[in-house]
Structure 1
């Protein structure tokens, strides 16, 4: 890719980020309430759950497997993880539904309020849930293949086989950097499709795949950047807050922990906004007209209302 193309790609990425960051200014109260009630609990749970699981893991590792107390601690660990995953799953879908619905309402000049967003979430949640289940099946297949490559990698290390090690390492690298990132991009875009179009589940995934064509590289850059930011935040949190008891005081750990939770809240909010805006970018790239009237009525259907409005959506602020 030549320099001019790289500059053009950078401007396009930055314009989407700029548009996404500016959206909350159009309805500050609504986005503040969404952030406080949905995105903050989600972000807090992502980081804080390790505070509860880490002591249990240490106790399990320090005791004999035949110790009755070990079985009790394993049970506690599984219960915590079970409820954590349920909480994570629920608030992830709720946050996605709320942000996508609110952004679409703003673009269609639909009255925006936290109450209307909450009213729409139950029907949006059902569609997102079905789409998530289909994506989960795809992720199960991915995890099986990833685990197989990991087993081969371990065998290659134990048998000191450099060729087998090289191929298994390359397989793991490709699976994570490309396949995992692509599936994540597919899932995020399919979630937006499930809210804004009358399709969900497997059809939403197919629609998402079609929309990603020509914009796959951009989507993977966004997803990879998001995953890296989350990874770095989680790494620092684990090092300082979870494992830093011997090196950092309680006040410092609390201060750093609170700061990192706040950073993750911002990252998650911007990530949800970016995936919402990126949907319109993909639609425009494929010359698919976005009928503002149809979208307005579709959003109103979640609330049981019908208000005709004839116009077409304009993304004038985006440099596509």
Structure 2
């Protein structure tokens, strides 16, 4: 990644796509190992939730129809526990995947030696910082969601044509705002890894950096969401609700969806990191490679004492 800041500054959507491919190509082994360790389980959890949730839901529905009684508390407890487990593991592997990919690309950019062992050792240190940023962005999103629901509810309460028009107007505004918050969260995650900022400070920095490049980030985000949505739709239709299909066909489609989803998640994290460098260049902020190398080395020094102790043993 030897582009000058002026070259990075001028990159558009397709330029960022090409830059992502150019970075990943010489380091296929590292990214393949990161994919197998973190992104493959993340994708598997993401797709499995659809199938398992469908099974649990239909089991409760059929039990209600057969017995004529409402579902027991144990049925709902099983469903809620499964959802909690799903979101917990999804969060863990999302943060681990983000840590591993962002750290790897930063090492490539700073010309630091990188190995999968080093990534594995550093990721837990980076992951701790990302939790703080995630909690802050989650809190902001929750507040935004509550305000949006209350606003939409008030619009519908008045009734009439004007109320419906107002409802859909605020709904569109809400969707735009939610997408904007998601982009801020993605950029804040990269900032948390590469700078001495986390939590609300990282969110404020991401809001500052995204100015001027919001349409580029939005275009890439929407394209990735559309691709993920198509894969999810195919999985729902032919695997989750594909009861008329033979089992081997459903398994084949499920594996195909998994194979397609894994590189999309990986490529999305790579592009997310490149957008950070593009935004910094756009605002003429110096990308100091030696300083970045020292910052990344700080993560590595956190696990070196353990290595020394093991060698002494």
Indicate the residue corresponding to 2:270 in structure 1. 273
Indicate the residue corresponding to 1:217 in structure 2. 215
1:56 and 1:154, CA in 2 relative to 1: closer, same or farther beyond 3 A?
A: farther
Cα distance in 1 for residues equivalent to 2:264 and 2:257 = 10
Question: Out of 84, 89, 92, which is 1:87 matched to?
Answer: 89
The CA deviation at 1:61 is: 3.1
1:154 and 1:55, CA in 2 relative to 1: closer, same or farther beyond 3 A?
A: farther
Which has the larger share of helix? 2
1:10 and 1:286, CA in 2 relative to 1: closer, same or farther beyond 3 A?
A: closer
Q: Is the contact made by 2:156 and 2:167 (CA closer than 8 Å) also made in structure 1?
A: no
Q: Secondary structure of the equivalent of 1:303?
A: helix
Question: Cα deviations across residues 10-36 of structure 1 (Å, max 9, x unaligned)?
Answer: 972101001112322221111101001
Indicate the residue corresponding to 1:295 in structure 2. 292
| Unaligned segments of structure 1, at least 5 residues | 1-8, 306-320
Cα distance in 2 for residues equivalent to 1:108 and 1:93 = 22
1:154 and 1:227, CA in 2 relative to 1: closer, same or farther beyond 3 A?
A: farther
Cα distance in 2 for residues equivalent to 1:257 and 1:155 = 43
The CA deviation at 1:125 is: 0.7
Question: Cα deviations across residues 165-194 of structure 1 (Å, max 9, x unaligned)?
Answer: 111112112211x11111111000000000
Q: Is the contact made by 1:20 and 1:273 (CA closer than 8 Å) also made in structure 2?
A: yes
Question: Cα deviations across residues 215-262 of structure 1 (Å, max 9, x unaligned)?
Answer: 11111112222222222211211111001112x211111111111111
Cα distance in 2 for residues equivalent to 1:129 and 1:66 = 45
Q: Secondary structure of the equivalent of 1:276?
A: helix
Aligned residues: 292
Q: Is the contact made by 1:149 and 1:172 (CA closer than 8 Å) also made in structure 2?
A: no
Indicate the RMSD between aligned Cα atoms, in angstroms: 2.1
Q: Does 1:189 align with 2:191?
A: no
Cα distance in 1 for residues equivalent to 2:224 and 2:260 = 12
Q: TM-score, normalised by structure 1?
A: 0.86
Q: Is the contact made by 2:156 and 2:163 (CA closer than 8 Å) also made in structure 1?
A: no
Q: Is the contact made by 2:49 and 2:86 (CA closer than 8 Å) also made in structure 1?
A: yes
Indicate the residue corresponding to 2:16 in structure 1. 16
Q: Is the contact made by 1:27 and 1:112 (CA closer than 8 Å) also made in structure 2?
A: no
Cα distance in 1 for residues equivalent to 2:299 and 2:239 = 42
Cα distance in 1 for residues equivalent to 2:101 and 2:185 = 16
Trace 1:1-320 onto structure 2 (pairs within 5 A).
12-62=12-62, 63=64, 67=69, 70-149=72-151, 151=153, 161-176=160-175, 178-246=176-244, 248-304=245-301
Indicate the residue corresponding to 1:316 in structure 2. none
- Structure with the greater relative contact order (CA < 8 A, sep ≥ 6): 1 or 2? 2
| Unaligned segments of structure 2, at least 5 residues | 1-8, 303-313
Cα distance in 2 for residues equivalent to 1:126 and 1:228 = 31
